[in-house]
C-alpha cells in the first residue's frame, strides 16, 4: 500500500497544539495569581478574562495534541489496519478535500476517523455519547454527527473528481466511520446507516468487499492522477530518494 501523508501539516498543527497548551497554562496561572493580589475587586474582570482565555487555549491545545501528536494518530492507526488488506491501494492523509481517502481497484473509500471515548451508540444517523463525566469539559471532543461528516466528505471528493477527472463518468465512492481509540470498545454501531466500526474490524469488513468488480483501468488511472496532483511534492521527494539510494548501490 502506498501511503501519502502531509507530514508538514501534521507537524505544524502539532506545534500549534504545544504552543496553545503552554499559553493556556500560562493564562490560567496568571488568572490564579491575580486572585492573591491586593484590591482583587478591581481585578475581577481581568481574572475572568485570564481564566477563560487559559481554559479555551488549553482545550484547543489538548484537542490538537490528541489529533496530531503521538503514535495513536488517526492516520497511523488507519495505516496499521489497512496495510495488509489494501496492498494494491493508495491512501491519502490530509491532502484531499477529505482527511483520509483510500483508492483501491474497486473504488474509493472515505474514512471518517473518530478518537472519542465513552459509550457510543447510533440509530440510523442519530449518535449518542455517554459515560464521559467531567472529561467532556477537559479536551474531550463530543461525537457530533459522523454520518453527516461522512456524507459531506463523499460529496467533497465527488466534486473534486468532477473538476480534476472529468473523463470518469461514474465513481464508486463509499464511506466508513472508524473509531481509532485503542482503549474504547464500548461501541454499539450495528444500526448505523453507513458502515461504522472499531479499527480492529476494518480488515475483516474490507475483505468481504474485495469480491466487488474492479473499476475500468483507465478510470482508476485518471482518479489516481487527480489525487496525486495534491501529493506531487511527496512523490517528487520519494523519487529523489530512490535515485540517491540507487546511485549509492552502484
pLDDT digits (tens, 9 = 90+) for 32-46: 887 777 766 677 788
pLDDT at site 207: 86
State the pLDDT confidence band at 234, using cuts at 50, 70 and 90: confident
CA atoms within 13 A on the CB side of 238: 10
Give 71: exposed, middle or buried? Use CB within 10 Å, 0-12, 13-18, 19+. exposed
The torsion defined by the Cα of 202, 205, 207 and 208, in degrees rounded to 10, comes to -170
Query: Would you list the domain boundaries of the chain?
Result: 2-68, 85-235
Average pLDDT over the chain reads 85
Taking CB atoms within 8 Å and a gap of at least 24, the contacts of 118-121 are 118/143, 118/184, 118/186, 119/186, 119/188, 120/179, 120/184, 120/186, 120/187, 120/188, 120/189, 121/187, 121/188, 121/189
Question: What is the pTM for the complete model shown?
Answer: 0.83
pLDDT at site 31: 81
Measure the CA–CA gap between 179 and 113, rounded to whole angstroms.
6
Which cell goes with 181? 481509540
Mean pLDDT of 129-149: 74
Question: Greater confidence, 13 or 209?
Answer: 13
Q: Say what percent of the chain tops pLDDT 70.
A: 88
Mean pLDDT of 147-172: 94
Decide if pLDDT at 81 tops 80: yes
Let me know the angle formed at the C-alpha of 173 by 129 and 148, rounded to the nearest 5 degrees: 30
Which cell goes with 45? 474582570
Sheet holding 126-130, edge to edge: 126-130, 119-123, 187-188
Question: Greater confidence, 250 or 239?
Answer: 239
Question: Greater confidence, 38 or 201?
Answer: 201
Q: Say what percent of the chain tops pLDDT 90.
A: 48
pLDDT at site 139: 53
Which cell goes with 44? 475581577
State the pLDDT confidence band at 138, using cuts at 50, 70 and 90: low
pLDDT at site 79: 94
Amino acid at each position: 500500500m502506498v501511503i501519502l501523508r502531509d507530514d508538514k501539516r501534521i507537524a505544524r498543527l502539532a506545534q500549534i497544539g504545544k504552543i496553545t497548551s503552554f499559553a493556556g497554562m500560562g493564562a490560567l496561572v496568571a488568572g490564579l495569581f491575580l486572585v492573591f493580589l491586593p484590591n482583587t475587586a478591581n481585578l475581577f474582570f481581568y481574572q475572568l478574562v485570564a481564566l477563560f482565555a487559559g481554559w479555551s487555549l488549553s482545550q484547543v491545545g489538548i484537542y490538537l495534541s490528541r489529533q496530531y501528536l503521538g503514535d495513536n494518530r488517526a492516520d497511523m492507526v488507519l495505516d496499521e489496519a489497512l496495510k495488509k488488506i489494501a496492498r494494491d491501494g493508495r491512501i491519502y492523509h490530509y491532502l484531499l478535500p477529505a482527511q483520509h481517502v483510500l483508492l483501491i481497484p474497486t473504488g474509493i473509500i472515505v474514512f471518517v476517523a473518530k478518537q472519542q471515548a465513552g459509550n457510543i451508540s447510533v440509530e440510523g444517523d442519530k449518535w449518542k455519547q455517554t459515560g464521559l463525566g467531567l472529561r467532556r469539559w477537559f479536551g474531550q471532543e463530543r461525537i457530533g454527527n459522523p454520518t453527516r461528516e461522512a456524507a459531506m466528505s463523499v460529496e467533497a471528493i465527488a466534486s473534486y473528481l468532477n473538476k480534476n477527472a472529468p473523463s470518469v463518468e461514474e465513481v464508486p465512492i463509499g464511506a466508513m466511520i472508524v473509531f481509532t481509540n485503542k482503549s474504547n470498545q464500548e461501541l454499539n454501531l450495528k444500526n448505523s446507516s453507513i458502515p461504522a466500526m472499531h479499527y480492529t474490524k476494518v480488515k475483516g469488513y474490507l475483505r468481504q468487499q474485495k469480491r466487488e468488480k474492479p473499476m475500468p483501468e483507465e478510470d482508476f488511472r485518471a482518479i489516481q492522477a487527480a489525487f496525486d496532483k495534491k501529493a506531487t511534492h511527496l512523490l517528487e521527494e520519494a523519487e529523489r530518494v530512490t535515485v540517491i539510494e540507487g546511485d549509492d548501490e552502484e
